[in-house]
Amino acid sequence: MTLLDIFPSLRSAMSPRLDPAVWPINTHHDEHGRITVGGVALSDVADQYGTPSYVIDELDVRHRCRTYREIFPEAEIAYAGKALMTRALASWVSQEGLALDVCSAGELTIALSAGVDPRRIIMHGNAKTPAELTAAIDAGVGRIVIDSYTEIVVLGSALDHKQDVLVRVTPDIDVHGHRAVRTGVADQKFGFPIDHGQADAAIKRVLDQPHLNLIGLHCHLGSQITDPEHFGAAVHRMIAQMAQVYHDHGLILTELNLGGGHAVSYGFDDVPLDLTQLASTVEDALDEACARHRFPRPKITLEPGRAIVARSGVTVYRVVSVKHIEGGRTFVCVDGGMSDNPRVCLYAARYSVALANRHPVGAQVPVTVAGRHCESGDELAVDVPLPADVRPGDVLAIPGTGAYHHGLASSYNSVGRPPIIAVCNGSARELIRRETIDDLLRRESSL
């Protein structure tokens, strides 16, 4: 008999700490040392639905929606559907009072099928096709964000009624953040640069189209932005541009969309964006810029995606084998990999990993969690601590996988994409089923 058998309460005390900055808010260890999310043991999800599986905590999603609405009570919060788009997710964020932004006809269709009010949908995309623009018009979306001269012509000729639009401009602000992706600088594919008069020219062309009702400007600075001052700088540049529109055309633009890109934590060395500081920075910048240019205060829209769902998601895997290389690394090989989480290969993303199905015995050792695919770079986590007794059949959990995982997943090596399992108040339900080999074969033409 062990000490844990005599004192079972020690199990939870001895379980490794689960960082609340990375895991869903409803994450705990049960009396058996198993990790639970939303009141459901992740090992039970693995047993019932197989592995790998994406798990998403519904109440965590709703909590983050409410947090945004509390911190930004005067702003419109539009969930960026590209982070994760399912009918259930669209329904949850809509019920919590968020608008929704989409960037394809597919995302638009999912949102509409979930019952989202089309007037609260914003249509994005730097290369929207004529068919997608027609779909947005027919659906009656509230706003279309114009991103090219071609769109101005196509929209202008396709409409027989007034359509509210925004023009996406690039304020040439370089975010320079840790692991940040830069989309607010001039030399990239999105929007019209403010510099050299390109934004001015696009705005004039929009105003020349009788059916395009220009109501505001849009910008997006990038992703994983940690410094709120970047958004303050964007406010100053955007208000100056809006004031220029009034000077040139006598038109007062009433909406300023600052996009998203709010940083979240994936590991111990990541710094999330402080939303309270962001709110204060944007507020001060608006006061200063509007006073300087004598311009009426516009309505602000923010478009968080990752910041809503990333930490709501956990992916569970089954250990297939453990391989110790003499003088080298220890590889813990699992039944998923780059097909369900390509962010490691694409962005050198770093994740924490935890043993989910039992209380560990023994010391922690550094390992590489390797994927199943026939690529040397298929590694989900490098040099992460796991119990020395990790073995085949164990369930591992990787937190922070709610955003840009299902949406970026592929069927590489003809491995079907994982299911999405929602957990809430002790119950689990399947939102999207596992993709099977039969699904893949149905896409093929007959021999």
Nearest to 333 by CA among 363, 367, 356, 384: 367
Pick the catalytic residue: 65, 103, 333, 374? 374
The answer on whether 306 is annotated among ligand-binding residues is yes
Give yes or no for a contact between 379 and 331, defined as CB atoms under 8 angstroms apart. no
The answer on whether 191 is annotated among ligand-binding residues is no
The answer on whether 66 is annotated among ligand-binding residues is no
Residue 396 to residue 42: CA distance in whole angstroms:
9
Angle among Cα 444, 445, 447 to the nearest 5 degrees reads 115
The answer on whether 156 is annotated among ligand-binding residues is no
Provide the CB-side half-sphere exposure for 125 (13 A, CA): 22
CA distances from 40 to 29, 55, 383, 403 (A): 10, 10, 28, 21
The answer on whether 399 is annotated among ligand-binding residues is no
The answer on whether 311 is annotated among ligand-binding residues is no
Residue 396 to residue 357: CA distance in whole angstroms:
8
Q: 374 catalytic, yes or no?
A: yes
The answer on whether 347 is annotated among ligand-binding residues is yes
What is the identity of the amino acid at 332?
Answer: V
CA distances from 156 to 11, 102, 216, 253, 254 (A): 66, 21, 17, 19, 21
Residue 211 to residue 333: CA distance in whole angstroms:
57
Binding residues for pyridoxal 5'-phosphate: 261, 303-306, 404
Binding residues for substrate: 306, 343, 347, 375, 404
User: What is the set of active-site residues?
Assistant: 374
Binding residues: 261, 303-306, 343, 347, 375, 404
